Amino acid sequence: MSMKLYVGGLPFGTTAEELKTLFSQAGTVQSATIIVDRYTNQSKGFGFVEMASTAEGQAAIQKFNGYTLGGRAIKVDEARPVVRRGGGGGGRRGGGR
């Protein structure tokens, strides 16, 4: 079973290919993605790497959490599912007297 990893603190110039090449040192990389801003197309400084197995994912966490890439210490952890928060907010309608 594959394991998806969150990779944070990336230098803004990091490409998905560079991420894939780096993480391939820990095992088989199924995919590597850099998250970009939808309006500016600039990196947000984090991404995701999917390793082929849980063992390879754990090895990548051990090897690369705290690893210095481009002068920045990156954070690597197991990716968590997105939690959708309650929509919108508090439009209290007040019937002032």
The three-point CA angle 16-34-9 to 5° equals 110
Q: What does the pLDDT read at residue 82?
A: 80
Q: What is the CATH number of the domain that holds 57?
A: 3.30.70.330
- Domain with 21, as residue range(s), is 3-77
DSSP state of 91: -
- CA–CA separation, 51 and 68 (whole Å): 20
Q: What does the pLDDT read at residue 15?
A: 96
| 63 found inside a domain | yes
Confirm if 54 and 3 have CB atoms less than 8 A apart.
Answer: yes
Q: What does the pLDDT read at residue 50?
A: 98
| Main-chain phi, psi angles of 39, to 5 degrees | -95, -40
User: In terms of Cα–Cα distance, which of 27, 14, 4 is closest to 76?
Assistant: 4
Q: What is the mean pLDDT of each run of 10 residues along the chain (97 residues)?
A: 97 97 98 97 97 98 97 96 72 57
| 87 found inside a domain | no
Q: What does the pLDDT read at residue 87?
A: 64
Q: Which two tokens stand for residue 89?
A: 């907010």
Q: What does the pLDDT read at residue 92?
A: 58
